């Protein structure tokens, strides 16, 4: 049975960005918005892109909802450090227990261009395919380095599972674009 959402969650609408903030703070511990931005850029940002400016506004909203606490420095840079509360952790756990009925979302400009490819010159499609081959090979190299660096560590084993999914998706995209390039060349 899924944990009951905390009362505060009913008062504020939580978005995927809310859960990114709650999850990153639960995972990392107390962090500033800048630290969250860097952590997201090296993790979920590879597969869940969103405007990072939200990582500066969303924590304040979650503080008001009682899902985070904030400590401010009295002097110096006056950094604000956020910590997930018990209610915030409960909201995260309730969300994790919910079924996910949303279909896979792919927001790929190259795929959009390909959709309208009937209006392009044939060489533009070949160039698009070549460009995509390079991009996917580059992303695969980044992911494989991450896998080599962190793959054997038990403390991050659960985080390696989405990396494997990301690799499989990149391999599939690479095969597709290589085939299209060969077929159209």
Same domain, 128 and 178: yes
Residues linked to residue 81 through DSSP beta bridges, in sequence order = 32, 71
Into how many domains does the chain fold? 2
pLDDT at position 106? 79
pLDDT at position 2? 52
Residue pair 177/140 in contact (Cβ under 8 Å)? The answer is no
Task: Tell me the CATH number at 27.
Answer: 1.10.10.10
Same domain, 69 and 128: no
pLDDT at position 152? 77
pLDDT of 44-55, one tens digit each?
888 888 888 999
Q: Which of 25, 42, 157, 162 is nearest to 91 (CA)?
A: 25
Q: CA end-to-end span of the chain, whole Å?
A: 55
- The Cα-based distances of 121 to 52, 97, 134, 177 in angstroms read 36, 48, 20, 17
pLDDT at position 50? 81
Same domain, 88 and 115: no
Give this prediction's pTM.
Answer: 0.77
State which residues of the chain have pLDDT below 70. 1-11
């Amino acid at each position: 049975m899924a944990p009951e959402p905390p009362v505060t969650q009913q008062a504020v609408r939580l978005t995927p960005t809310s859960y990114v903030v709650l999850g990153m703070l639960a995972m990392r511990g107390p962090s500033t918005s800048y630290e969250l931005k860097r952590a997201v850029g090296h993790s979920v940002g590879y597969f869940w892109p969103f405007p990072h400016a939200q990582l500066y506004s969303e924590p304040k909203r979650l503080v008001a909802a009682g899902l985070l606490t904030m400590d401010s420095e009295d002097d110096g840079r006056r950094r604000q450090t956020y910590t997930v509360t018990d209610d915030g952790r409960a909201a995260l756990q309730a969300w994790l227990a919910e079924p996910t009925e949303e279909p896979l979302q792919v927001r790929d400009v190259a795929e959009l261009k390909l959709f309208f490819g009937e209006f392009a010159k044939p060489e533009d499609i070949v160039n698009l395919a070549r460009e995509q081959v390079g991009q996917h090979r580059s992303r695969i190299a980044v992911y494989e380095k991450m896998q080599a660096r962190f793959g054997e560590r038990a403390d991050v084993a659960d985080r390696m599972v989405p990396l494997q999914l990301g690799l499989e998706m990149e391999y599939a995209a690479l095969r597709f674009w290589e085939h299209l390039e060969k077929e159209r060349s």
